[in-house]
């Protein structure tokens, strides 16, 4: 990492490293769900780490359709806060946005991405000569580094998002509340207005909510609203475990379902950034079983990127025959006839090589 001549103390306290893990596909694809291979130990940020790769997914919920990755710290007796990036290199040795994860998390042991991508996507785009490559970079700041975040010595990258997350978590100086199914959630008018033109109109415009201290929101689960607030304060998608531990009662929901609901919320509140993040995450869950429902969701809520990805997936001859046999496809003609016509045109175009 480049040094900061204005603040050598801070640059000394930030430590980083990178690593590439080469995986032989044929030796891993027959492992059972929940079984993994681990990379050799590598050093980054003053700690030892490993990457765990689950060829059939980390748990039974994804039915072996998705691969999973976990990043684990080995050499610390206490939690480690790290900024990290994880991605796959495509057949040309380049990282791709579809496989790219960037986050700041506190590691007690490890973080796992259960729905990293479908196995079919991995095999189509990333395996060359029976191998694929996982690239990872990690930046760690120690305890002193964390203490300096708000000091006069300087401000760290991404500290604003972290401070806003703490502001939301602690509920400091909130000035508006929302009622969702009887659960009261508090927030800050100015932040919401900056992040959403719909909230801006509701909270500072001529609409009735302007002078209302508690706004009732229908047709949205409390957990989904909390997830949307997390994005508006931190510019990142929430981790479902954090939302559940935050006090919401909606516990029986997967990350995939949450992102589907967040896509609907993003469209409702005109949050293009949240919509884009949800589209990228949901794109990774496209499969024979999910593609029709995702296509209908994308069409209904103006998600052009996700819609096009679903259409492209179904239009592939090897996929279309299987998708056409599903119950969801059979009901598409009744629920979305215009969408079915658009899909047929896409399939015909693909068959003609256009």
> pLDDT of 32-82, one tens digit each?
999 999 999 988 878 888 999 999 998 887 678 889 999 998 876 677 888
In a domain, 20, yes or no: yes
Q: What is the CATH number of the domain that holds 174?
A: 3.30.710.10
Note whether 217 and 179 are within 8 A (CB). Answer: yes
Tell me the whole-structure pTM to 2 decimals: 0.55
SS3 labels along 298-324: HHHCCCHHHHHHHHHHHHCHHHHHHHH
Note whether 263 and 224 are within 8 A (CB). Answer: no
Average pLDDT over residues 246-259: 69
Residues 117 and 167 occupy one common structural domain: no
In a domain, 1, yes or no: no
Residues 203 and 321 occupy one common structural domain: no
Note the pLDDT of residue 137.
Answer: 87
Q: For residue 113, what are the domain limits?
A: 8-146
For residue range 212-248, list pLDDT tens digits in order. 678 999 999 999 999 999 999 988 888 777 676 544 4
Quickly count: other Cβ atoms within 10 Å of residue 24's Cβ.
Answer: 13
Note the pLDDT of residue 210.
Answer: 52
In a domain, 115, yes or no: yes
Structural domain count, the chain: 3
In a domain, 269, yes or no: no
Q: What is the CATH number of the domain that holds 89?
A: 2.60.210.10
Q: How confident is the model at residue 177 (pLDDT cuts 50, 70, 90)?
A: very high
């Amino acid at each position: 990492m480049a040094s900061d001549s204005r603040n050598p103390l801070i640059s000394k306290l930030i430590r980083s490293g990178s690593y590439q893990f080469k995986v032989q596909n044929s030796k891993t694809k027959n492992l059972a769900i929940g079984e993994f291979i681990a990379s050799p130990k590598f050093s980054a940020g003053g700690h030892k780490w490993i990457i765990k790769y689950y060829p059939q997914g980390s748990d039974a919920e994804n039915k072996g359709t998705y691969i999973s990755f976990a990043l684990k710290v080995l050499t610390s007796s206490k939690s480690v806060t790290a900024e990290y990036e994880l991605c796959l290199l495509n057949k040309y040795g380049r990282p791709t946005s579809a496989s790219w994860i960037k986050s700041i998390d506190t590691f007690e042991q490890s973080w796992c991405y259960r729905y990293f991508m479908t196995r079919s996507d991995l095999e189509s785009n990333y395996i060359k000569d029976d191998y694929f490559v996982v690239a990872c970079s990690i930046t760690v700041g120690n305890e002193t580094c964390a203490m300096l975040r708000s000091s006069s010595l300087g401000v760290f990258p991404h500290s604003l998002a972290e401070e806003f997350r703490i502001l939301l978590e602690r509920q400091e100086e909130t000035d508006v509340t929302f009622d969702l199914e009887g659960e009261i959630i508090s927030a800050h008018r100015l932040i919401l207005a900056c992040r959403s033109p719909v909230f801006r109109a509701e909270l500072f415009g001529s609409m009735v909510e302007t002078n209302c201290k508690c706004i009732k929101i229908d047709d949205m689960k409390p957990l989904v609203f909390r997830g949307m607030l997390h994005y508006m304060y931190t510019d990142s998608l929430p981790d479902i475990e954090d939302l559940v531990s935050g006090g919401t009662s909606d516990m029986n929901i997967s990350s995939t379902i949450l992102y589907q609901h967040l896509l609907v919320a993003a469209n409702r509140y005109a949050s293009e950034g949240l919509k884009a993040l949800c589209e990228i995450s949901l794109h990774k869950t496209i499969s024979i079983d999910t593609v029709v429902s995702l296509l209908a969701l994308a069409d209904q809520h103006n998600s052009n990127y996700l819609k096009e990805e679903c259409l492209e997936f179904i239009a592939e001859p090897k996929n279309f025959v299987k998708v056409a046999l599903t119950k969801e496809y059979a009901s598409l003609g009744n629920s979305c006839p215009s969408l079915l016509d658009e899909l047929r045109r896409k399939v015909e175009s693909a068959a003609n090589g256009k």
